[in-house]
Structure 1
Amino acid sequence: MASVANPELKWDLTPFFPSITSPEYRDAVSALPATIGGLEQGLAELASGCTPSKLARFLESYDSSYRSIYLVAAYTNLSLSTDANDQDAQKAHGALQPLMVRLGKFGKSFDALIGSLDPSVWESDEGLADFRFVLGRIHQAAAHLLSPEMEDLAADLADSGNNAWGKLYDDFSSNIQAEVNGKSMSVSAIRGLAYSEDADIRRRAYEAELQAWKVNEIPLAAAMNAIKGEGNTLAQRRNWPDLIDESLFRANMDRASLEAMLEAARESFPHWRRYLKAKAGLLGHTSGLPFYDLFAPVGDSKAWSWTEAEDFVEDGFRSFSDKLADFARHSFDHSWHDVYPKQGKRDGAFCAGVTPGVSRMLYNFKESFNGASTLAHELGHAYHNLCLKDRHAIQKRTPMTLAETASIFCETIIKRRAIAESSGGEKLAILEASLQGSCQTVVDITSRYIFESEVVKRRKERALTPAELCSIMEEAQTATYGDGLDPQKLHPYMWAAKPHYYSDRAFYNFPYMFGLLFSLGLYRVYEESPNGFHDRYDSLLSRTGMGMAADLTQEFGIDIGDKAFWQGSLAVLIEDIDIFCGLASQS
């Protein structure tokens, strides 16, 4: 049950620092220049003559320094994420940025040094065996670095370029207000009304949201153009064929595997359109589902309080392992979660590691099964952080693809349990909520991939207008959702609503689909061969930054380059669609 000592369900950051104005926080920030200076000095010494033993010692120093730096950075970002208007947090964040720029420069210098070394330095030494993969990848990536002077300049400019535009988006979008039924609300709260049982409220919220984005479209489009423009420029200068190639490299994934997954997804679209049209019929629509009813509850759906979500997730996790369930309970008892939306709070949900094995999770909780599913998702990320806690910082560079493995695996545990234990109208509601999320991950993610691909392509020529961004988004939605959606009721401003577009990590979309379909395949392995699975699973999570995705997945007999694997995972979802359509036809 939720702690009565924390009735507002806010996270507790005091185990890290008493407050952002505390002497402890100021002292930690004051120590950072010396910490970064120590790394810079160590790197200079390493450059003067690198041996396996010197490299091993430096990596130990790198790890301890990174932990202290990351604690301060994570705490600062968490403080700001719940209140973009907190002046103290704003000032602290601003003061930290020059240090982060300096740290970024160090990182590029480290990568350049590794790139200049003979790989035999780490390949021939058993003491560096666990670092071979990541050092090898850094060595390969170094071929895409600019000169040291140019990388320094890029790092300096990021503070007033890419990073500044991303922060503008976060601050600006967190404070956008609009009225629904005469009540002024944040846009994140308005988006939450998409889950309302009241059809009129859902429609009004959708209209208010679109109007709010339209009124504020110019600065949001400017941020999009700046970030994608900078990304294109740097990718070109660093000799990447395209931004997607850089993203695939970071994901430890090849283009053939991506295309196999996307092709399997495209082949499944007719089934998703069947689901959408069946849902539209339940809600009385004849021309496809309007976007504002994508998240509408159907069947005998109930409101899920946070306490109910906690208990259901903990019990579901226990059916998999006591370790996972006990971890979830520990996070509830120690206030790791910030639950409800409020003015100035960042939209969406995320999990952030703060210290080894210790995380904090933010939500804009909606009292629906989707809310419980999101809780399971973020706890999966936190569990992944737990499995990584004994790894060195350099080994924790988990690619985007495998970063979603634990989160969606945990979602799968909860969804399969909920579907199995329900019947009648309740089963219809839970099944629909599950399909709703999977549709977003397969269909909507593909639309986002199509949208970003087109924006990146056109941005090479010139900046795009808000109207063009809206047009590209509608075209992407039509290409994926097809006649499953009402063509007159799309969401042209989804480019403004999704924060993933506003960071330096381009194409943070396909990893979600990878995570869902890989996790379904992994869950099938668990069901078929549960003995010994838990240890293998934890080991996989502890090594997600230590191997190519294809090699790590092969340990479970999974070939991600084979379209048949992705089709097998999608077949599980298509079975759910068949059941849903059957139940819907009886309603």
Structure 2
Amino acid sequence: MTSDINSVLQAPSWTMDDAYVDIGAPRYEASFRRTGELVDALEASKSPIAHDALPAALSLYDEAVTLSSSLGSFLKCLGAKDSGNDAVPAEQSRLNALTARLERAAEPLFAALEEIPADDPIRAVPPLSDWAFELEDASRHWKRRLSASDRDWLGAFEAEVFKPLGETFKTLQKGVDFEAENAHGEKERIRAAKLVSVIKGAPDRTLRANVNAGLNASYGARADLYAALLNALHGFRLAAFGRAGVEPLSVSLHQNRMSEGALRAMRGAILKHIDTVRDAVRVRAPYFGDTRLKIYDLMAPAPERGKTEVPPLIPYAEGIGIVKSALGNVHPDMAAFIDMMLERRWIDAVLSDAKVGGAFYSRFNEFKCPRVFSSYTGTITTVLQQGHELGHAFHYWVMRDLPTVQTEFPMTLTETASTFNEAVIRAHLLEKAASRDEVFGMLWQEMRSCANFLMNTMVRMDFELAFLKERASGVVSARRSVELMRRAWTDWYGDSTDGADDYLWAYKLHYYKTDQLIYNYPYTVGYLLSQGLMHALATKGKDFYPFYTALLRDTGRMTVDGIIEKHFGADPAGEAFWEDCLAAPLAAVRRFKAEFSDPNVR
């Protein structure tokens, strides 16, 4: 079945020949060896490090981070492409051990850097000048509250125990293997990658319903395993945070470079209009003959009037053509970038049962080139997904000439370019709509995005915060996890859906990432900032593109609050800014409700 669909879609596969080729290849081993040499040199440095030796020592660390991050991205790509590649976990463990040594070896360096007076001329000397923002930010990192011996122990424990736990999720995902019947009465094999693709908006409602039933059965039967893993991950975090005297949310906010005031203001602005946001769900239920939307219809594509069969697939060339046309209207460079990604084979979108679920962008800092990973299924949802991930890649591309440390933007700002791309594509398709049905289709997409970014991500945040709170008092059972999810779901969705997505906490990869904590609200931030960018696009004309690229280039050296203040001229801790960003999505909901509330007069 997968091979048949691939022959229709003709989605691209990536190459790694211009990167590390494979584990054990000469280029891979050379970079690994060089990283080890840099770590050896840092470990051999005399402590305390002399004042005039600081630039050279930081240069060693900078190069080591560039190489190790590239190697880590490469392993992530290999593991995503083939979840059964047993060499990846072993190699990841080897890299984790090396990076743990690197961080321990850098302790004296950063201790010395913290002692440099603010007016010391050495701060203006590269690479210290390149690291100015990062050094200031790092001084507030929660681990700085720990003693040197505690940090040393924690680094070793993370490398040997905590980070490998993240790989356990991939192992559990191999247990997702069941059959689901489609609208043609055919049985389809559902593995983790395909499951994610289907629930993200497969056009076949019969398949969606049956996959949802299979999802609940599969994860329900193994819920204790996922709960045990989540307890282990958060239990470790809470023990470490307790030692440092910090709260999980403050750690996440620092990691995402956002103030709690800005998060509260954003949340407050959404809740002020929650009834209208819920309408983005309510208005779609009648199109499926329901009064409340089924969970498996939340991300469903727009139903076609008078048609019961599954809509035709969109070949990849046609889908990426839509993306290029939309983004090319913003600036030709954005379309040319996609052509380059395709020509250099930096995109992998072909379907495969061996792939992990989901989609992501990554980059190899050593070679200054990005990669985009997904499973393209020929739906408008996965067309938008291509635009989303290519937004991430473009974000990096316009800043690749900067020092590596200044290209490390937080997840809150990572999601800005990606969701902006989605907004541009939806607006493009709406503008080009030649019929009322096409207008309906694009407004439907707006309803999906509005509900997903303004409620679903917030549900995920509230669940995680509630889980962390209860985990501080003991182990949280699988049954209790379902209860917490249902409570968070009801708080946001109200009665707009038929039940809750009970096992969202089990199948959502973001909960099991070891490099991110509470990785959900960043999507909401990115979505709302993208709406602010859409307003700027409409008002700045030819000045928009330089404004946009300047904003993107600042994302690795400024906070979310700083970006909003500098580039939007607004107060991030005030609800007014976030309400301005909400204006367009809420207007789309009201328009859909006014024009398409009755399926019979569509």
Q: TM-score, normalising length from structure 1?
A: 0.92
| 1:507 partnered with 2:518 | yes
Secondary structure at the aligned position of 2:32 is classed as helix
Q: 2:243 aligns with which of 237, 244, 256?
A: 237
| 1:162 partnered with 2:162 | yes
Which residue type is aligned with residue 163 of structure 1? K
| 1:470 partnered with 2:482 | yes
Q: Distance in 1 between matches of 2:242 and 2:542?
A: 49
| 1:485 partnered with 2:497 | yes
Task: Report the CA distance between 1:534 and its aligned residue.
Answer: 1.8
Task: Report the CA distance between 1:408 and its aligned residue.
Answer: 1.4
Q: Distance in 1 between matches of 2:105 and 2:426?
A: 44
- The match for 2:194 is 189
| 1:394 partnered with 2:405 | yes
Q: 2:255 aligns with which of 250, 253, 275?
A: 250
Task: Report the CA distance between 1:142 and its aligned residue.
Answer: 6.8
Which residue type is aligned with residue 50 of structure 1? H
Q: Deviations over 1:343-365 (max 9, x none)?
A: 33221110001135411111122
Q: Distance in 1 between matches of 2:40 and 2:459?
A: 45
Instruction: Pick closer, same or farther for the CA change 1:68–1:456 going to 2, 3 Å.
Output: same
Q: Deviations over 1:362-421 (max 9, x none)?
A: 112232211111111111111111122122233233122112121112222111111111
Q: Distance in 2 between matches of 1:39 and 1:10?
A: 39
Task: Report the CA distance between 1:303 and its aligned residue.
Answer: 3.4
Task: Report the CA distance between 1:174 and its aligned residue.
Answer: 4.3
Q: Distance in 2 between matches of 1:569 and 1:387?
A: 25
- The match for 2:217 is 211
Q: Distance in 1 between matches of 2:267 and 2:472?
A: 24
| 1:562 partnered with 2:568 | no
Secondary structure at the aligned position of 2:334 is classed as helix
Task: Report the CA distance between 1:293 and its aligned residue.
Answer: 1.1
Secondary structure at the aligned position of 1:140 is classed as coil
Which residue type is aligned with residue 583 of structure 1? F
Q: Is contact 1:291–1:485 with CA below 8 Å preserved after alignment?
A: yes
Q: Distance in 1 between matches of 2:62 and 2:265?
A: 37
| 1:262 partnered with 2:267 | yes
Q: Distance in 1 between matches of 2:460 and 2:121?
A: 40
Q: Distance in 1 between matches of 2:463 and 2:249?
A: 13
- The match for 1:277 is 282
User: 1:226-375, aligned counterparts within 5 Å?
Assistant: 226-240=232-246, 242-286=247-291, 288-300=292-304, 303-355=313-365, 357-375=368-386
Q: Is contact 1:435–1:577 with CA below 8 Å preserved after alignment?
A: yes
- The match for 1:63 is 62
Q: Deviations over 1:468-522 (max 9, x none)?
A: 11110111111111111013xx211000111111123211111111111011112
Which residue type is aligned with residue 275 of structure 2? P
Deviates more, 1:154-163 or 1:206-215: 154-163
Deviates more, 1:190-199 or 1:557-566: 190-199
Secondary structure at the aligned position of 2:284 is classed as helix
Q: Is contact 1:377–1:407 with CA below 8 Å preserved after alignment?
A: yes
Task: Report the CA distance between 1:329 and its aligned residue.
Answer: 0.9
Secondary structure at the aligned position of 2:283 is classed as helix
- The match for 1:413 is 424
Q: Distance in 2 between matches of 1:568 and 1:220?
A: 39
Secondary structure at the aligned position of 1:359 is classed as strand
Q: Is contact 1:111–1:142 with CA below 8 Å preserved after alignment?
A: no
Instruction: Pick closer, same or farther for the CA change 1:315–1:8 going to 2, 3 Å.
Output: closer
Question: Tell me, which stretches of 5 or more residues in structure 2 are unaligned?
Answer: 1-5, 182-186, 305-310
Task: Report the CA distance between 1:120 and its aligned residue.
Answer: 3.6
- The match for 1:77 is 76
Which residue type is aligned with residue 588 of structure 2? D
- The match for 1:100 is 99
Q: TM-score, normalising length from structure 2?
A: 0.90
Task: Report the CA distance between 1:126 and its aligned residue.
Answer: 6.9
Q: Distance in 1 between matches of 2:495 and 2:465?
A: 23
Deviates more, 1:357-366 or 1:62-71: 62-71
User: 1:40-51, aligned counterparts within 5 Å?
Assistant: 40-41=43-44, 44=46, 47-51=48-52
Number of aligned pairs? Answer: 576
| 1:176 partnered with 2:176 | yes
Q: Deviations over 1:154-177 (max 9, x none)?
A: 111113432121110123214521
Please, what is the CA RMSD of the aligned residues? 2.4
Which residue type is aligned with residue 415 of structure 2? E
Secondary structure at the aligned position of 2:39 is classed as helix
| 1:572 partnered with 2:584 | yes
Task: Report the CA distance between 1:102 and its aligned residue.
Answer: 1.7
| 1:542 partnered with 2:553 | yes
Q: Deviations over 1:181-211 (max 9, x none)?
A: 3443203313433333333222111000111
Which residue type is aligned with residue 49 of structure 1? A
Q: Is contact 2:406–2:556 with CA below 8 Å preserved after alignment?
A: yes
Deviates more, 1:171-180 or 1:458-467: 171-180
Q: Distance in 1 between matches of 2:410 and 2:592?
A: 34
Which residue type is aligned with residue 114 of structure 1? L
Secondary structure at the aligned position of 2:364 is classed as strand
- The match for 1:583 is 596
Q: Deviations over 1:11-67 (max 9, x none)?
A: 11111133324333334333331122234445x46x33225xx44444433333333
Secondary structure at the aligned position of 2:293 is classed as coil
Q: Distance in 2 between matches of 1:420 and 1:271?
A: 24
Task: Report the CA distance between 1:467 and its aligned residue.
Answer: 0.6
Identity %: 22
- The match for 1:446 is 458
| 1:202 partnered with 2:195 | no
Secondary structure at the aligned position of 1:507 is classed as coil
Task: Report the CA distance between 1:107 and its aligned residue.
Answer: 5.1
